[in-house]
Amino acid sequence: MDGTETASAADGGEVDALRREIASRGLWYHTLELAPGVETPGWFDLRPILDRMPFPDVAGKRCLDVGPYDGFLAFELERRGAAEVVAADIAHPSQWDWAPASRARNTETQLQMAGSEPGGGFEIAKRAVGSSVERVEVSVYDLAPETVGEFEVVVCGSLLLHLRDPVGALAAIHSVCRGHFLSAEQINPELSVLGPRRPLAQLRGGDRVQWWIPNVAAHRKLLSASGFEIERAAQPYAIPLGPGHPQYGRKLGSMAYRGATRLVTRMAGVPHVAVLTRAV
């Protein structure tokens, strides 16, 4: 056996080990390609919509990803040439903004939705792709220059709907942002059709850790009210479901909701909008 065959066998063993490590995780939020032909079974696949997000130039800049979960956006910032990327997330699903009734129930539902170790997938992915992203355990509400420093670029994806106080979270993000903030969030397509210029939001009251889902206008209003000046916004898009998404949630709402999603985004999936702002 020559050196090439030995190397190939070693590479094959590493890939097999990576596949086993991926399979050991009960839940992957993001679909990530960690090696050629090796992907995580994520609930959502952001790869098809990356070009729709209005990323600023991040080359050589210090960047923050708020609520990274498995780290898709954090690794994307690194891929785009960021000098440093910090990923800020909480340590355990028990710290999420559960509604009081949900928190009082057995934790089995919490673990089914969140997994027992939300940061575990991030660590597997980081090792697999050779990333230098630093993950710090801190709530979005506790972001401050004293806790994480300041950043030239901040991104936050699909987090505000899971927060009881999105305005307080945006105020904390503003306190550490000294440049651009890219906010990519789920929107309510029906309210976006009914009130295209009127800020409206659906209150889910913490059901399945979802609180507020704004329409397009309300998302923009949240950002401007929190001290961000809007520079440009993407057309609404829909994030496709990944292979790991539970069957019970794949229908994505009523026929009217799905129709409104198609009307607003021209796509099937979870409707989102991404807005690039500057902290003022």
* Model pLDDT for residues 147-197, shown as the tens digit of each residue: 999 999 999 999 999 999 999 999 999 999 999 999 999 999 999 999 999
Pairing of strands 210-214, 237-239: unpaired
pLDDT at 5 over 60: no
Instruction: Locate all alpha helices (DSSP H) within 37-150, ordered by sequence.
Output: 72-79, 100-104, 108-114, 120-129, 145-148
Tell me the C-alpha distance between 122 and 133, whole Å. 10
pLDDT at 225 over 50: yes
Tell me the C-alpha distance between 58 and 130, whole Å. 19
- Beta-bridged to residue 156, according to DSSP, are 66, 183
For the chain, the first-to-last Cα distance in angstroms comes to 63
Q: 271 falls in which pLDDT band (50, 70, 90)? A: very high
Tell me the C-alpha distance between 133 and 66, whole Å. 13
Look over the chain and give the mean of its residue pLDDT values, rounded to a whole number.
91
Q: Residue 111: its pLDDT value, please?
A: 58
Average pLDDT over residues 32-37: 96
Q: Taking the CA of residue 250 as centre, how many other CA atoms within 13 Å lie in the half-sphere pointing to its CB?
A: 9
Q: 66 falls in which pLDDT band (50, 70, 90)? A: very high
Q: Residue 7: its pLDDT value, please?
A: 38
Residue 56 backbone phi and psi in degrees, to 5: -80, 175
Q: Is 132 exposed, middle or buried (0-12, 13-18, 19+ CB in 10 A)?
A: exposed
pLDDT at 234 over 60: yes
pLDDT at 8 over 50: no
Q: Residue 107: its pLDDT value, please?
A: 57
pTM greater than 0.85 = yes
Which is more confidently placed, 274 or 13?
A: 274
> Among 112, 102, 119, 113, which Cα is nearest to 67's?
119
The CA distances from residue 104 to 4, 99, 112, in Å, are 58, 9, 16
| Complete domains list, the chain, with CATH | 45-279 (3.40.50.150)
Average pLDDT over residues 49-65: 98
For residue 49, the SS3 value is helix
Report the chain's C-alpha Rg in angstroms. 19
